[in-house]
Amino acid sequence: MHTEIQYYVNLLSPYVHTYGYLVAFFGMMLENAGIPVPAESTLVAMAFFAGQKVLSIWLVIPIAIVGDVVGDNIGFWIGREGGRPLVEKYGKYVRIDQKKLSEMEALFKEKGGRTVYTAHFFATTRILAALTAGMSHMPYKRFLTFNILGAISFVTVISLVSYHFSKNLDTVLRFLHYFRWAGFVVLALIIIYYFHKHFGKRIKE
């Protein structure tokens, strides 16, 4: 077994045996609320425990989905209520100025739905997507719809693949590696399309 996954399996083992499915819930909730917890590795480890018959995969999946959605809603409302002033105050330290912030918000307003959905499949965007959606005042119903769809897709795919290969998690890591690359390609195409559509029009004008 890959040392990274082995580390999380060993780390989570006492908590899984004590708290059971709550580990899946809080693992997903904390990262999506903006706290850098390795939710993806936690999910793979939980599927491993399900493969060992310690847990049921059919309970891990819905509980993790609920944790994902709850965490994203927390991040969304933090962004909605106080995200922009926070970024305006400290954004300069990470090279985010007013112009970049406005561009980011504009992109999220137009492509916010698909961004919320695809963000689930990348660790960095999982942490920031809900906060940015709230900060850009994306309509809540739209956010919630794509958030739920993204949570269902991400948790189900990762959990079932990890469960199916629970005796050989190195195969899961290879799958995740190629899965991320495919996602990066899709995301790049979306960004290229966006800039071509908007900046292409300005050039013609």
Beta strands in 6-134 (DSSP E): none
Report residues of the chain scoring pLDDT below 70.
1-5, 34, 36, 83-84, 86-111, 124, 169-205
The DSSP code for 55 is S
Give residue 156's pLDDT. 92
Give residue 65's pLDDT. 95
Give residue 60's pLDDT. 94
Give residue 51's pLDDT. 87
Q: Which residues contact 121 (CB under 8 A, 6 or more apart)?
A: 154, 179, 180, 183
Give residue 202's pLDDT. 47
Closest by CA position to 46, among listed 35, 58, 36: 58
Give residue 122's pLDDT. 73
151 burial type by CB count under 10 A (0-12 exposed, 13-18 middle, 19+ buried):
buried
Q: Whole-model pTM? A: 0.74
